[in-house]
Chains A and B, each alone.
Chain A
């Protein structure tokens, strides 16, 4: 079984660029990934592409071949959809194909155009990740769903809006020197707590922004990397995926994310690492409470203790386990179909030492990516390690 090297990464700036088409966004990320990999586009054997709301935002289905064309790749292309985990599942498929010997060179990525929909339109589009008959019909929005989980978490384990605010403050702080980030702006706890409410107890600063952007990675087999003398020091050594019932009200737990527990368990076993081996993590903080659930599912915090990890300095840039050094979805932005692949980009750079925040983790050898879809009815976890 071949190892899977991340040969190159490409990211557009995340932010509000409502005029830019999805194809233009992905073309930029894909071309940058090929250039970073120093791989000829003719060597790419397939494109695995994640996108969530293309039908609503651009009236565009069948985006696989469109994106391959945009990036100049003449190869079969398939779109993957798992709400906000769309490109996470695409990465997982890419890892499997390279391991199986089905491909030596793949482009994997995703894109989302959202801000052209406006706030109400994007809120409506995001809501389709929930159960239309049973949740959306009752007025449950995407922030509303996480607010239900936050309220349940507070009731079961304690914690406060101030604790959650510390997560937002941390992630904004991490994004200050990340030029790809949507928000490069310092905030404080008071600003977060006093911000207008979106869906109580989550306010404007507990929520990730609405974003446009794209991300791409070039995955190659160990053999291809060796034959072509590629400088590809980082491998994806573990992959896992978990699932859960669609509607929150059908789940056993309202304040936990078992799909991510399953994904993490599988990814750790696959890579033969343990939570204690992880040096740096990028987790799916679409809302502040989501980072809490992620840390607990990944085994980086005990259940009930994730809420205070940022406040206690455990997950801050100078803490023992920095989380979301990119700024996370919260400050870097969340073009949903691009997010899973962008986490692989950020971690690869952090491990290679060429990320703006690499100085925070100079010895890092093991990174963890956690990408969640909907209210974590889908979860994908990847382990990345320095292998050369």
Chain B
């Protein structure tokens, strides 16, 4: 058991966030070119156990988005904010749009991925910035 006040990481996920923040994002690719996000031991699309880290493409595209006005307690001071699903090659990622007014977010926007902090808690989150 670890002490409650000790920072416990989510292995696989936290390393990925750090890598994205350092501009070295990656995703997992199976032998059949299916993309997914860590931590995984099995490709969720075909069940392959042969998966490896490959670099995340630098440019992504917004595929759908929503501007959220009613948030959970962890995001109340962040509203309104745009949650987006962006495609980067063979993988999609969920994150918030930054550096664009929420009313100007649109499907098809070309973005790059980064890590920023929430207004409410200061916790890290995945963000997209226009490219």
Interface residues of A (CB under 8 A from B): 119-121, 123-124, 127, 133-141, 143-144, 147-152, 155, 196-202, 245, 247-250, 254
Contacts and interface: CB of A to CB of B under 8 A. Distances in A.
Given A140-B94, A248-B94, A120 B73 contact: yes
A137 B65 CA distance: 16
Contacts of B126: 137-138
Q: Which of A120, A137, A245 has the most CB of B within 10 A?
A: A137
Contacts of A140: 68, 83, 94
A151 B73 contact: no
Contact of B83 (A139, A152, A245): A139
B59 to A, nearest CB: 17
A156 B118 CA distance: 31
B33 to A, nearest CB: 14
Contacts, number: 103
A148 B85 contact: yes
A134 B94 contact: yes
A139 B64 contact: no
Interface class of chain A by DSSP: helix
B67 A141 contact: no
B89 interface: no
B92 A155 contact: no
Contact of B95 (A133, A138, A155, A197): A138
Interface stretch (B18-26, B47-55, B74-82): B74-82
B60 to A, nearest CB: 11
Contacts of B74: 124, 139
A152 B108 CA distance: 12
A155 B66 contact: no
B72 interface: yes
Contacts of A119: 70
Contact of A143 (B70, B107, B125): B70
B66 A151 contact: yes
Given A151-B64, A200-B67, A141 B92 contact: no
